């Protein structure tokens, strides 16, 4: 009798646990079985992307450090930042994200996610034409780190540059986006590299293709159970809001694991855009990742057939296309914010109010705009005329009072300023940036649309239609 009770209790408990972890029936990027044919170890599943999550926390920690300067040259801060950018030392703390109130975070050391990882080695290797100096991605970031370390809380007042924003937004592009769409979802899907009929590395429980796909997924920065979250919920997780713990904690252990339960990088921006209700980037991208992973699993450790590879590349194309749009939406949004800041600046100047606060906001939004615009151009795909236009419209710094702007860097790495356009013309440039994002990338969320009222008016006046009424 007692045994019966115990067995029933255990059965009920496991049913309940299963119910809780089943995530309302939505598929998670998890629990894909081992398909490596001669695997002898005891791993229960083949999913692994710790290295990517280590790089996410390196990035978020670097961003935090970028805002800690005191306005003087600071070799100690620079060394610390470089440790997170270039270094591979053991023992690095996760500076951000950290436990905040009820939002308890599981890991506190980078090594808990993965050891010996850095950002520099995985940065875009081509020339970054959107930044002066003809530097590679890693060189641009190192340059920004150097400047940030001696800036006052990361803000260079003279040139209008907010390094925390620039470093963060560009690094997300140069490392995460580039690695995912130009490496793992591109060359690494071919037949002659990281094949699916062999372990990725001797002794590993995942095949070449399984791991390649996992790494791309990791770089996107979305939790494994994303499909059971709404964009609004994902957004609140990224912000580490108090009530977001329950949403994030998929395995109900009372903590948020930075490995597979946290929202990072572009996944956060996808959720942000989707909150408008006009887009569905987060789920579209996540589902494509999950479907692709399932396809690879279904190959049961054999080489992918041509048909399977074509289908997988189809998923990769969906991911790349939507990921690009997420970044374009961010460019659109921050162009709108920058426009509004210029408006506020004009108003403050007219009313002889305090411009320093407005200038700070202006620099912050511009840094976000510029960082995302730079990220858009490091996908490995040449954006051609669009890229040139984008860079010319935005320039190398915001247009400052006095209508000057950074026009380049001299041989010693100092910024050079000159007269380019007036502040008014620059505001118009921001509108043109928004127009460019609409025309070239078909963005739909369109947050901070300066010409939103135009769209509303046109809707009221009626869609474009033939006028056959003869008076």
Partner 1 sequence: MTDLLFSDYLNNLFTSVYETVLNPRKRVFYGYILLALMLAACWLKWHKGQTARQIRQRLFSRSIWWSESARADYKILLINKTILLAIVPLFITKIALATLIFQQYYSVFGFPPSSGSILPGWAVPICFTLFLFVLDDFARYFLHMLMHRWPVLWAFHKVHHSARTMTPFTVLRTHPMEGLLFTLRSILVQAISIGTFLYLFGNQVDLITVLGVNVVVFIFNVTGSNLRHSHIAIYYWPWLEKILISPAQHQIHHSTLPRHFDKNFGAILAIWDRIGGSLHLSERDTELKFGVSHKVIEDEQHLKTLYLKPFGDAWRSIRRTRPTR
Contacts to partner 1 by CB under 8 A? 342-343, 346-347, 350, 422-425, 427-428, 431-432, 435, 451-455, 457-458, 460-462, 464-471
For 317-375, where are the E strands, in sequence order?
none
Kindly tell me which of 354 and 467 has the beta carbon lying closer to partner 1. Answer: 467
Query: Which DSSP symbol is given to 278?
Result: S
Kindly tell me which of 83 and 344 has the beta carbon lying closer to partner 1. Answer: 344
Tell me the three state secondary structure of residue 400.
Answer: strand
Kindly tell me which of 242 and 439 has the beta carbon lying closer to partner 1. Answer: 439
Give CA–CA dist 16/214, Å, rounded: 29
For residue 209 the two structure tokens come to: 């293709």
Residues 6+ apart with CB under 8 A from 467: none
Give CA–CA dist 293/181, Å, rounded: 16
**CB of 396 vs partner 1, minimal distance in Å:** 22
Kindly tell me which of 71 and 353 has the beta carbon lying closer to partner 1. Answer: 353
**CB of 440 vs partner 1, minimal distance in Å:** 14
Rounded to 5 degrees, what are φ and ψ at 109?
-125, 145
Kindly tell me which of 2 and 460 has the beta carbon lying closer to partner 1. Answer: 460
**CB of 252 vs partner 1, minimal distance in Å:** 46
Residues 6+ apart with CB under 8 A from 249: 255, 256, 261
Hey, which residues does 359 pair with through a beta bridge?
A: none
Contacts 24+ apart (CB under 8 A), 392-398: 393/429, 393/430, 393/432, 393/433, 393/436, 394/130, 394/369, 394/370, 394/429, 394/433, 395/420, 395/426, 396/131, 396/132, 397/159, 397/160, 397/161, 397/366, 398/160, 398/338, 398/362, 398/363, 398/366, 398/426
Give CA–CA dist 324/180, Å, rounded: 11
**CB of 449 vs partner 1, minimal distance in Å:** 10
Kindly tell me which of 303 and 340 has the beta carbon lying closer to partner 1. Answer: 340
**CB of 466 vs partner 1, minimal distance in Å:** 3
For residue 464 the two structure tokens come to: 């474009």
**CB of 383 vs partner 1, minimal distance in Å:** 22
**CB of 463 vs partner 1, minimal distance in Å:** 9
Kindly tell me which of 89 and 343 has the beta carbon lying closer to partner 1. Answer: 343
**CB of 405 vs partner 1, minimal distance in Å:** 17
Question: CA torsion, points 57, 60, 66, 67, in degrees to nearest 10?
Answer: -130
**CB of 158 vs partner 1, minimal distance in Å:** 24
Kindly tell me which of 21 and 435 has the beta carbon lying closer to partner 1. Answer: 435
Query: Which DSSP symbol is given to 236?
Result: H
Contact indicator for 189, 397 with CB cutoff of 8 Å: no
Crossing angle of the two packed helices 137-149 and 50-66, in degrees rounded to 10: 40
Kindly tell me which of 356 and 453 has the beta carbon lying closer to partner 1. Answer: 453
**CB of 421 vs partner 1, minimal distance in Å:** 11
Kindly tell me which of 306 and 469 has the beta carbon lying closer to partner 1. Answer: 469
Phi-psi region of 117 (alpha: psi -120 to 50; beta: other; left: phi over 0): beta
Query: Which DSSP symbol is given to 226?
Result: G
Kindly tell me which of 34 and 427 has the beta carbon lying closer to partner 1. Answer: 427
**CB of 453 vs partner 1, minimal distance in Å:** 4
Kindly tell me which of 42 and 470 has the beta carbon lying closer to partner 1. Answer: 470
Q: DSSP secondary structure string, 390-448?
A: HHHHH-SSPPBTTTEEEEEE-TTS-EEEEE---HHHHHHHHHHHHHHHHHHH---S-TT
Give CA–CA dist 301/22, Å, rounded: 26
**CB of 121 vs partner 1, minimal distance in Å:** 43
Give CA–CA dist 161/128, Å, rounded: 18
Residues 6+ apart with CB under 8 A from 215: 49, 51, 52, 179, 180, 184
């Amino acid at each position: 009798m007692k045994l019966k009770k115990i067995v029933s209790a255990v059965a009920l408990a496991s049913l309940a646990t299963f119910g809780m972890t089943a995530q309302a029936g939505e598929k998670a990027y998890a629990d894909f079985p081992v398909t490596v044919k001669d695997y002898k170890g005891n791993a229960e599943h083949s999913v692994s992307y710790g290295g990517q999550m280590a790089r996410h926390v390196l990035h978020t920690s670097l961003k935090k450090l970028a805002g800690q300067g005191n306005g003087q040259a600071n070799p100690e801060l620079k060394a610390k930042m470089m440790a997170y950018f270039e270094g591979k030392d053991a023992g690095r703390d996760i500076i951000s994200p950290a436990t905040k109130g009820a939002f308890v975070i599981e890991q506190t050391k980078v090594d808990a996610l993965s050891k010996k990882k850095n950002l520099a080695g995985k940065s875009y290797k081509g020339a970054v034409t959107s930044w002066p100096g003809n530097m590679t991605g890693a060189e641009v970031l190192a340059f920004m780190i150097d400047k940030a370390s001696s800036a006052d809380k990361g803000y260079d007042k003279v040139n209008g540059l907010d390094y925390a924003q620039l470093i963060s937004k560009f690094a997300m592009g140069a490392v995460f986006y580039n690695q995912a769409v130009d490496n793992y979802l591109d060359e690494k899907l071919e037949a002659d590299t990281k094949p699916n009929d062999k372990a990725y590395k001797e002794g590993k429980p995942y095949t070449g293709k399984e791991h390649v796909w996992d790494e791309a997924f990791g770089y996107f920065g979305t939790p494994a159970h994303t499909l059971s979250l709404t964009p609004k919920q994902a957004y609140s997780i990224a912000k580490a809001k108090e009530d977001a713990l329950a949403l994030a904690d998929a395995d109900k252990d009372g903590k948020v694991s930075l490995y597979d339960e946290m929202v990072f990088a572009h996944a956060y921006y996808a959720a942000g855009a989707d909150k408008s209700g006009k887009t569905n980037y987060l789920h579209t991208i996540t589902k494509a990742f999950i479907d692709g992973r399932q396809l690879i699993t279904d190959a049961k450790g054999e080489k992918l057939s041509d048909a399977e590879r074509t289908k997988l590349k189809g998923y990769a194309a969906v991911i790349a296309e939507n990921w690009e749009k997420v970044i374009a939406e961010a460019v659109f949004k921050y162009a709108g914010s920058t426009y509004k800041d210029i408006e506020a600046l004009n108003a403050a100047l007219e009313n002889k109010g305090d411009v320093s606060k407005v200038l700070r906001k202006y620099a912050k939004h511009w840094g976000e705009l510029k960082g995302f615009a730079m990220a858009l151009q490091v996908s490995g795909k040449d954006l051609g005329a669009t890229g040139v236009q984008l860079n010319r419209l935005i320039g190398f710094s915001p247009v400052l009072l006095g209508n000057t702007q950074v026009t380049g860097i001299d041989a010693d790495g100092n910024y050079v300023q000159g007269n380019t356009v007036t502040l008014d013309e620059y505001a118009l440039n921001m509108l043109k940036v928004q127009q460019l994002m609409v025309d070239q990338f078909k963005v739909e969320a369109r947050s901070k649309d300066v010409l939103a009222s135009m769209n509303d008016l046109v809707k009221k006046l009626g869609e474009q239609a033939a006028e056959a009424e003869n008076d």
